[in-house]
Amino acid sequence: MPPKSNTTPKITASPDDGRQQSLVQQIAELEVGKSVSLARRLDGDEATKATILETRESLRNFANSATKRAKDRTGHTYTIEGGEITTRSLDILVVIAITRSE
């Protein structure tokens, strides 16, 4: 039996294998000035200020957690920004963008 290795193998997804990279991995692999985003679509007829704020907070918390893990892994600096977009059908997209700044 071969000896146990103390290193964890780096697993990366490629377009050929059908797996999507984790958000942490996507953030860690960003080049300076590049971004990755998260978005959630809300039905415009049902979206209230409270729903929009709750959705934004949920996405931001998820982004904060993933960004912290990526920063701990790489030492890079990232910014997290958010906003809302109104679609042609008057639905609302709540968006969070994570950008590598250094």
Within a domain: residue 90?
yes
Task: Report the distance separating Cα 98 and Cα 17, nearest Å.
Answer: 25
If one counts the domains in the chain, the total is 1
Domain region containing 76: 23-100
pLDDT in the model for residue 6 = 44
Residue 43 CB: number of other CB atoms within 10 A? Answer: 11
Within a domain: residue 76?
yes
User: Taking the model in full, what pTM does it have?
Assistant: 0.76
Within a domain: residue 11?
no
Within a domain: residue 71?
yes
Note whether 38 and 93 are within 8 A (CB): no
Within a domain: residue 10?
no
Within a domain: residue 15?
no
SS3 state of residue 80: strand
Within a domain: residue 4?
no
Q: How confident is the model at residue 10 (pLDDT cuts 50, 70, 90)?
A: very low
Task: Report the distance separating Cα 24 and Cα 1, nearest Å.
Answer: 33
pLDDT in the model for residue 74 = 95
Within a domain: residue 93?
yes
